[in-house]
Structure 1
Amino acid sequence: MFVKFSKDISFYTLRRKWIWELNEDNIVSISRMKIRAIEKKYKDNANLFDEFKYLVFWRWVKKNTDISERFVNNFKKIINKLGLSLSPKEEKFITNIEEYVFSSWRPLKSIPVRFNLFPKEEVNLYQSKVFLLRWDDIDCKSYELGEYDLYYSNLRLIFCDKSYTIQREIYNNQIKDIDILIIGTIVYLHNGKNYLLRSNNKLLSYIFLLDIMPQFRDKNKKPDYYKLYSLSDAFFNIIN
């Protein structure tokens, strides 16, 4: 993703020369006019230089991927500046990031539910078809407990079946830490029990947990590039 493999051996020699003028460190600040001048300079190898632009963009994405409005804006800016086109998977990647940014910043609102809540409890977020598994952190093994609709409240995680009956719950004050892996979101409890949350949008569970428990937002480092890509169904492994 974001990079084109060239079958022309000369490309790998030329890119060592081009990288001094256009690279992942100057791509945001360099002007469109300057890029056009560089393209004109290497017009004899125009097709190869187009492939090189995708390589530069991929290297920038690899280095800068983040759940932030700044990343989204620079991503789109570079696409336009370089005149690149995105595949459906690449479009899905940036769309997912935009959704994560929106989820991170929107104010939490109370969601009406069909089950009883505690006094002063309110449900703020909802995620359907979430698999809950017990997680063995030592052996890295999981044991499936079931598929549920997950409601995130200010007091607990509520796992319901399709008839809105509460099947399981994890209280927020029991949660010691959270982490994000390629396979999903790990919830660590103070009693030593660990749980794995998995869904089609695995990163969304992590974002929702940070929304209702912001104390973990500063504590936990952001997921790295490789995790973000694989969690967005857009992982692209390349030796570069």
Structure 2
Amino acid sequence: MFLKKSLNSNFILNRGEWLAYFDENNVLNKSKLSIRRSGRKIKNYENFILFKRWILWRWITKNFTFDEKFINGFFKLVRKMDISLTSEENRFIFNVQEIYFNSWRPLKELPVRFQIEPKELINFKESSVNVHKLVNKDGKVKAEFENNYDLYFSFKNIYFCDSEQKFIKKVDLKKISKIELKHFGVIITISGQEYLFRGANKLLVYSILQRVMPTYVEPLNKFPDLYGYFDFWSKIQQNIL
């Protein structure tokens, strides 16, 4: 994401010198006109586009976190540098906004058609989550697909339903003994059995559990390389670029 693959030797050889025009540390303080003038100095339109995307990527990897300051800074940079986002990049910032919103928003009751416990309220939902059971076969851990669920969260239970709110099963939050964040999803240990949860937004289940679990869950912002959860190749590219 954000970095365009290019074998343009002119860009690769000269981008270090172009940092004198603006970089990830000062680009937010540059005017749109100043950035446009830098493009005229770089002269080549393709090189200028590649350079702006490189700066945006460097800014993201340096400043990434789930808060309003990052989100506002991201949109400000996209507008200021006149960058057109791909569908994958739009999905990235949507996921970041979704996680941030769910981390602080006032609780509200979500109406459901299935039966819940007396005085229980459903406060969060994540749709279309693939759940895999992790089993040990021949000394190797393998993921066996269980089902695709819509998950409904209260402060007591997780309800597993189909897309039409047909109840399938529920899990008491007190039976969850461990929650592990991985680049490929979230591993949750329920009554001694490990399950892999993978949604379109890989971190959303974890962020919701932060709010509803009766026991402490490590905050997302405590984890290193958070951007790498959205862009697996980012760590490798950081070492190269």
TM-score, normalised via structure 2 length: 0.80
The structural deviation recorded for 1:77 is 0.8
Q: Residues 182 and 227 of structure 1 are in contact (CA less than 8 Å); yes or no, is this contact kept in structure 2?
A: yes
How far, CA to CA, are the matches of 2:144 and 2:135 in structure 1? 8
Q: Residues 63 and 225 of structure 1 are in contact (CA less than 8 Å); yes or no, is this contact kept in structure 2?
A: no
Give the aligned residue type for 1:225. Answer: Y
The structural deviation recorded for 1:211 is 2.9
Partner of 1:78: 77
How far, CA to CA, are the matches of 2:78 and 2:70 in structure 1? 12
Partner of 1:229: 231
Give the aligned residue type for 1:227. Answer: Y
How many equivalent residue pairs? 235
Q: Structure 1 stretch 162-171 or stretch 87-96: which is displaced more?
A: 162-171
The structural deviation recorded for 1:105 is 2.5
CA RMSD of aligned residues (A): 3.1
How far, CA to CA, are the matches of 2:220 and 2:16 in structure 1? 40
Partner of 1:110: 109
Partner of 2:202: 202
Give the aligned residue type for 2:187. Answer: I
Is 1:24 aligned to 2:18, yes or no?
no
Q: Structure 1 stretch 123-132 or stretch 10-19: which is displaced more?
A: 123-132
Change (3 A) 1:121 1:82: same
Q: Residues 24 and 60 of structure 1 are in contact (CA less than 8 Å); yes or no, is this contact kept in structure 2?
A: yes
Q: Residues 122 and 152 of structure 2 are in contact (CA less than 8 Å); yes or no, is this contact kept in structure 1?
A: yes
Q: Residues 128 and 149 of structure 2 are in contact (CA less than 8 Å); yes or no, is this contact kept in structure 1?
A: yes
How far, CA to CA, are the matches of 1:166 and 1:89 in structure 2? 32
Identity between Structure 1 and Structure 2 (%): 34
Q: Structure 1 stretch 71-80 or stretch 156-165: which is displaced more?
A: 156-165
Secondary structure at the residue paired with 1:194? strand
Q: RCO higher in 1 or 2 (8 Å CA, sep ≥ 6)?
A: 1
Secondary structure at the residue paired with 1:216? coil
Question: 1:1-240 alignment to 2 at 5 Å?
Answer: 1-40=1-40, 42-136=41-135, 139-161=140-162, 166-189=167-190, 191-213=191-213, 215-218=216-219, 221-222=222-223, 224-229=226-231, 238=237, 239-240=240-241
How far, CA to CA, are the matches of 2:48 and 2:143 in structure 1? 47
- For structure 1, which runs of at least 5 residues remain unmatched after alignment? none
Give the aligned residue type for 1:23. Answer: D
How far, CA to CA, are the matches of 2:19 and 2:74 in structure 1? 19
The structural deviation recorded for 1:86 is 1.6
Give the aligned residue type for 1:14. Answer: N
How far, CA to CA, are the matches of 1:202 and 1:27 in structure 2? 30
TM-score, normalised via structure 1 length: 0.80
Change (3 A) 1:150 1:4: closer
Secondary structure at the residue paired with 2:35? helix
- For structure 2, which runs of at least 5 residues remain unmatched after alignment? none
The structural deviation recorded for 1:74 is 0.5
